[in-house]
């Protein structure tokens, strides 16, 4: 997850008045390869089922209408920004549901929350790639739980999806970068449903994603949507 500051409410809710532009859907072959890359544990949704449940968010206007807000820091994150090799690629621009994350206050000093939401049929975070024409293309979905809240809920290990434990993000004060992206220690899981990822379906970064077209100073009101 990016350095999405929780000073979000006033600035982020009115972020987009957009015109939807169509995005190229996954080919059948791409979707089949992605879907075959992981198998659900009993009771978990398959990748195809998660895609079916989140397809509507390819239009970012739909996401906004359903309560997702844009990262107030307007950050399109790359691997280099967290001190990792450039070859790992980028993550993208995040839209998130504060209620699902349990974020109710600005950072103090880091973003913290009480949410323990893990349902990928209703992901707490949507990840978009900025396009050259100013539109946004949905590339991944994500969930995040704060480590303290997760432990207090009675869990003694990170969540897992399809048998794979989520990534645990904790800042190392000895390094010049912030490995936890200005968040308190947390567990997160990216699922690259809409952009094939050579690093793996659950990797944090994708070498086929770019932030080259992101304008961090662009007014949000002029952002176009990409989707159906």
Query: 126-167 pLDDT, tens per residue?
Result: 999 999 999 999 999 999 999 999 999 999 999 999 999 999
Q: Which residues of 7-35 are buried (b: 16+ CB within 10 A; e: fewer)?
A: ebeeebeebbebebbebeebeeeebeebb
Mean pLDDT of the chain: 86
Global pTM value: 0.86
DSSP H or E stretch at residue 160: strand 160-161
Query: One digit per residue, pLDDT tens: the chain, 228 residues?
Result: 544 433 333 333 333 333 334 445 689 999 999 999 999 999 999 999 999 999 999 999 999 999 999 988 899 999 998 889 999 999 999 999 999 999 988 888 888 999 999 999 999 999 999 999 999 999 999 999 999 999 999 999 999 999 999 999 999 898 888 888 788 999 999 999 999 999 999 999 999 999 999 988 765 543 445 554
Nearest to 16 by CA among 75, 58, 73, 63: 63
């Amino acid at each position: 997850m990016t350095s999405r500051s929780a000073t979000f409410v006033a600035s982020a809710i009115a972020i987009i008045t957009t015109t939807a532009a169509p995005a190229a859907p996954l080919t059948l072959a791409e979707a089949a390869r992605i879907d075959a890359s992981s198998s659900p544990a009993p009771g978990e949704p398959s990748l195809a089922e998660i895609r079916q449940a989140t397809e509507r968010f390819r239009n970012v206007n739909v996401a906004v209408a359903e309560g997702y807000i844009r990262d107030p820091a307007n950050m399109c994150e790359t691997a280099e920004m967290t001190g990792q090799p450039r070859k790992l690629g980028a993550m993208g621009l995040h839209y998130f549901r504060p209620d699902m994350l349990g974020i109710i206050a600005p950072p103090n000093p880091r973003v913290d929350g009480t949410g323990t939401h893990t349902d990928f049929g209703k992901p707490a975070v949507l990840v978009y790639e900025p396009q050259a024409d100013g539109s946004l293309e949905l590339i991944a979905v994500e969930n995040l739980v704060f480590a303290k809240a997760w432990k207090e809920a009675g869990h003694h290990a990170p969540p897992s999806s399809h048998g794979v434990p989520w990534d645990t993000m904790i800042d190392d004060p000895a390094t010049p970068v912030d490995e936890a992206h200005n968040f308190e220690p947390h567990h997160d899981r990216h699922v690259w449903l809409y952009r094939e990822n050579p690093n793996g379906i659950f990797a944090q970064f994708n070498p086929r994603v770019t932030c080259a077209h992101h304008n961090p100073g662009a007014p949000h009101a002029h952002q176009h949507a990409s989707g159906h």
